[in-house]
A and B are shown apart, each in its own frame.
Chain A
Amino acid sequence: MFKAIVSAETLSSALDSVSVLVDECKIHLEEDGFTIRAVDPANVGMVDLSLDAAAFESYEADGGLIGVDLSRLEDIAGMAESGGLVQLELDEETRKLHIQIDGLEYTLALIDPDSIRQEPDIPDLDLPASVVLEGKDINRSVKAADMVSDHIALGVDEGEEFFYVDAEGDTDDVHLELTTTELIDLQLGPAHSLFSLDYLKDMNKAIPAAAEVTLELGEEFPIKIHYGFAEGQGQVTYMLAPRIQSD
């Protein structure tokens, strides 16, 4: 059983953060909200999302599992006016999702969850450094690096106490430092890792500019990117594996 009403904006935010990595996903319809976990085909980038029941106008579920085509569902949510509501109801018999938006009725065929790539195990990472900053600063860092390279190095300078971004191109280089005055918070620790911009650019697309984002970093370790949405009732954690640094 699943029946819910949610603002189109909240639904879109949730879906967008997953669709940057995968086309299809499984949605766990738990009693206290829904969760999604997905990993890209190369097992490099992962998303772990939860949307609390409190983020919905109304929410009833009893632990079901559905598989959805994300771009289809995003298109439907996009049909709502600004501030509009989306009503979702699962038909257990036909395995279809009935969606209503301002008088528009859409019946969405679901995907067999068994045909969707297995959900990843979440790596248990103990990352020594943590950086809290605004979404717009991540956007700026990614954009700067993208001008010269397809990779980005992120690290923390423990001595001088700042977070930095490095990108090396064939001819040009980019370096960006953010000190404790620009950052919301900085926990010092040994941290320097290289990441593919292909993935970070996609993840960046989903991160709201005004969101408070926590980055957890280590030496040659995956990065964890965490932020909240829907007034803190939605939580997204990305994990991205590093690239081995050759010099």
Chain B
Amino acid sequence: MEFAEFATRAKEIEAESADLEVTALVTDLFREGGDDLEVLARFVQGRVFPAWESTTLDVGPRTCYEAIARAAGQNVSAADVEETLASVGEIGAVAAGYEFGGQQGLGAFTGGGPDELTVSAVSETLADLAETDGDGSQDRKIDLLFSLFNRCSSDEARYLARLVLSEMRIGVGEGTVRDAIGEAFDVPTDEVERALQVSNDYGRVAAVSRESGLEGLESMTLSVGRPVQAMLAQTGTVTDALTDWERTAVEWKYDGARIALHYDGERAWVFSRNMEDVTAALPEVVEFAEAHLERPAILDGEVVAVDEAGDPLPFQAVLRRFRRKHDVEAARTAVPVSPVFFDCLHADGEDLLEAPLTERHARLESLLRDHEDQPPEGVSALVLSDDPDEIESIDAAALEAGHEGIMLKDPNSTYSPGRRGRHWRKHKPDVETLDLVVTGAEWGEGRRATFLGTFELSVRTDDGYETVGKVATGITDETLADLTDLLEPHVRAQDGQTVTLEPAVVFEVGYEEIQVSPTYTSGYALRFPRFVGVRSDKDPEDSDCLERLERLFDAS
């Protein structure tokens, strides 16, 4: 398919607001996708690679602006592109506004005819781009992107720019793709859904649906070594859990980092929550697999780091282990981690996603049990209870041990990869809030282009303010509009989309944890900061001081 055709279809889809119509358009696109079906199934969602692949484009906005500038014509610079972006608010519209193609190719002089961009050519060039690394790779990436933009019409440029910067936003979500695959190839959507969950590959599922229908979909299974998305939890209360399920499964919510362990009988893989391969960074988990697993398995759990007293170390200490590429042995000595597993997705050739939680947990225990008469190692204790007092005491014990609280799970629920459903609920104690001064913000993008968002927060010191984080979540559009009105008079300077604000407005901000951080000038950062409200009753002078932050950090 010509890339121009894809751009036309994407434009139609974007202009359509009714869900059914969007699905119908995507369905048509898939039916007529031909050899490009797999790529199209990803492109409509703004994906370049299958979700399970750890390959990323790794193209920063700046690289993309440079390439657009070069293709855009005489004396257009990346700074011009950025400036236009600040006023237009969306990279697709910026790219569509330029006239590309001024630079001719040598092909035009060899009688080769016009060189139309195809969907597969874009896909291949982006794959080349992802492989580019080492010295001068930034320039080479610009060259490759330029080679694409230079051949783009206005509409093609719009969707290419969005694809490259992962901002497709044409209103096609995972659900739309699932439904469209079902309709296009006449297969039941729940089977498509299941196949997507086990394979994590929209392109593959679309192709299998077309080529071998229901039978093909049913034969798609989990594959050891290929990551799937983790099942997620909502926040919830014990009372609600007992009302909904009568009896709840309770386990500690460990203060660690989520991992999946895949073992094929010989080789182990460890994946992070966002499906990155972290096998090399976490040798303890590989050794755990070799010591305790005999048969193929896919396990879901956490890695936890504990200090000499047995107390868990802060989350960020664990996360540093994930990012470590060199001197893993030294990092391991400094921050040893150990895994705790709480679920089992696959055991010895059998997928268990459809099995109830209690059965999956039993399989987990039997997989990891080394001796008949001893409890298995590295398995979280799962207690079934309908007694609020008992649950309360488990919660108290978890907090006492330095963990985050408890998980409440529906004992009969199946495992739904990537879903944040009602079947798993996390129960955590409330945290304190901080009153912080807003010292900067960024103009939003797209729908939010006229609003300030992503607010920079600072803490008061004896001689001014020091940054401690940014808050962007927990704010509705309506509130954003109010906040923009409130803050705009205090803008000190503007650089592209970023503005500096004079200290005037105080936000009440919730958070989960205070961390030591080199990113912010206070030396601390808030983990999961969330906007609670404006403290219009407080002046910057009355906001929280650095000493309070330090005390809270020390106490945690």
- Do A and B truly interact? yes
Question: For B105, what are the chain A residues with a Cβ–Cβ distance below 8 Å?
Answer: 42-44, 241
> Which one of A39, A168, A222 contacts B109 once the chains associate, using CB atoms below 8 Å?
A222
Q: Is the CB of A42 within 8 A of B74?
A: no
List B81-120 residues whose CB lies under 8 Å from chain A: 99, 101-110, 112, 115
**5 A–B pairs (Cβ distance < 8 Å), ordered by A:** A40-B147, A44-B104, A45-B106, A149-B75, A150-B74
Q: Is the CB of A120 within 8 A of B106?
A: yes
Q: Considering only CB atoms, which chain A residue lies closest to B125 in the complex?
A: A41
The chain A residues found within 8 Å of chain B, CB to CB, are 23, 39-46, 71, 120-121, 123-125, 149-151, 168-170, 196, 198, 221-222, 239, 241-244, 246
Least distance between B380 CB and chain A CB atoms (Å): 47
Q: Considering only CB atoms, which chain A residue lies closest to B74 in the complex?
A: A151
Q: Considering only CB atoms, which chain A residue lies closest to B107 in the complex?
A: A43
Distance in angstroms between the alpha carbons of A23 and B128 in the assembled complex: 12
**B143 proximal to A (CB < 8 A):** yes
If the complex has contacts A43-B147, A71-B135, A123-B110, are A150 and B75 also in contact, measured as CB distance less than 8 A?
A: yes
**B480 proximal to A (CB < 8 A):** no
Residue among B112, B115, B143, B147 with most chain A CB within 10 A: B143
Question: For A123, what are the chain B residues with a Cβ–Cβ distance below 8 Å?
Answer: 106, 109-110
Distance in angstroms between the alpha carbons of A198 and B140 in the assembled complex: 13
Q: Considering only CB atoms, which chain B residue lies closest to A69 in the complex?
A: B134
List B132-147 residues whose CB lies under 8 Å from chain A: 134-136, 140, 143-144, 146-147
Question: For A198, what are the chain B residues with a Cβ–Cβ distance below 8 Å?
Answer: 70
Least distance between B227 CB and chain A CB atoms (Å): 27
Question: For B140, what are the chain A residues with a Cβ–Cβ distance below 8 Å?
Answer: 23
Distance in angstroms between the alpha carbons of A246 and B76 in the assembled complex: 14
Question: For B104, what are the chain A residues with a Cβ–Cβ distance below 8 Å?
Answer: 44, 241-244
Distance in angstroms between the alpha carbons of A46 and B107 in the assembled complex: 11
Distance in angstroms between the alpha carbons of A60 and B108 in the assembled complex: 38
The chain B residues found within 8 Å of chain A, CB to CB, are 70, 73-75, 77, 99, 101-110, 112, 115, 125, 128, 134-136, 140, 143-144, 146-147, 150
Distance in angstroms between the alpha carbons of A239 and B107 in the assembled complex: 12
Least distance between B421 CB and chain A CB atoms (Å): 45
Question: For A39, what are the chain B residues with a Cβ–Cβ distance below 8 Å?
Answer: 106
Least distance between B153 CB and chain A CB atoms (Å): 15
Distance in angstroms between the alpha carbons of A124 and B140 in the assembled complex: 28
If the complex has contacts A168-B74, A222-B109, are A243 and B143 also in contact, measured as CB distance less than 8 A?
A: no
Least distance between A123 CB and chain B CB atoms (Å): 4
Q: Is the CB of A41 within 8 A of B143?
A: yes
Least distance between B283 CB and chain A CB atoms (Å): 28
Distance in angstroms between the alpha carbons of A221 and B106 in the assembled complex: 9
Least distance between B5 CB and chain A CB atoms (Å): 22
Q: Is the CB of A246 within 8 A of B107?
A: no
> Which one of A71, A149, A239, A241 contacts B103 once the chains associate, using CB atoms below 8 Å?
A241
Least distance between A131 CB and chain B CB atoms (Å): 20
Question: For A170, what are the chain B residues with a Cβ–Cβ distance below 8 Å?
Answer: 75
Q: Is the CB of B103 within 8 A of A121?
A: no
Question: For A243, what are the chain B residues with a Cβ–Cβ distance below 8 Å?
Answer: 73-74, 102-104
> Which one of A41, A124, A169, A242 contacts B147 once the chains associate, using CB atoms below 8 Å?
A41
Shortest 8 CB-CB contacts between residues of A and residues of B? A42-B147, A43-B105, A41-B147, A123-B109, A241-B104, A123-B110, A241-B106, A151-B74
Residue among B70, B102, B104 with most chain A CB within 10 A: B104
If the complex has contacts A71-B135, A123-B110, A241-B108, are A196 and B75 also in contact, measured as CB distance less than 8 A?
A: no
If the complex has contacts A71-B136, A150-B75, A170-B75, are A43 and B106 also in contact, measured as CB distance less than 8 A?
A: yes
Residue among A43, A149, A242 with most chain B CB within 10 A: A43
If the complex has contacts A151-B75, A243-B102, A244-B104, are A42 and B136 also in contact, measured as CB distance less than 8 A?
A: no
Question: For B102, what are the chain A residues with a Cβ–Cβ distance below 8 Å?
Answer: 243-244, 246
Question: For B77, what are the chain A residues with a Cβ–Cβ distance below 8 Å?
Answer: 150
Distance in angstroms between the alpha carbons of A170 and B140 in the assembled complex: 27
Question: For A222, what are the chain B residues with a Cβ–Cβ distance below 8 Å?
Answer: 106, 109
Question: For B150, what are the chain A residues with a Cβ–Cβ distance below 8 Å?
Answer: 42, 44
Question: For B99, what are the chain A residues with a Cβ–Cβ distance below 8 Å?
Answer: 246
Question: For B73, what are the chain A residues with a Cβ–Cβ distance below 8 Å?
Answer: 243, 246
Q: Considering only CB atoms, which chain B residue lies closest to A120 in the complex?
A: B106
If the complex has contacts A23-B140, A71-B135, A71-B136, are A44 and B74 also in contact, measured as CB distance less than 8 A?
A: no
Q: Considering only CB atoms, which chain A residue lies closest to B110 in the complex?
A: A123
Question: For B143, what are the chain A residues with a Cβ–Cβ distance below 8 Å?
Answer: 40-42
Q: Considering only CB atoms, which chain A residue lies closest to B109 in the complex?
A: A123
Least distance between B119 CB and chain A CB atoms (Å): 18
Distance in angstroms between the alpha carbons of A150 and B101 in the assembled complex: 16
Q: Is the CB of B146 within 8 A of A42?
A: yes
Additional 19 contacts, C-beta under 8 A, given A44-B105, A244-B103: A23-B136, A39-B106, A43-B107, A43-B115, A43-B147, A44-B104, A44-B106, A120-B106, A121-B112, A123-B109, A150-B77, A168-B75, A196-B103, A221-B109, A241-B109, A243-B74, A244-B101, A246-B74, A246-B102
Distance in angstroms between the alpha carbons of A42 and B144 in the assembled complex: 7
Question: For A221, what are the chain B residues with a Cβ–Cβ distance below 8 Å?
Answer: 109
Question: For B70, what are the chain A residues with a Cβ–Cβ distance below 8 Å?
Answer: 150, 196, 198
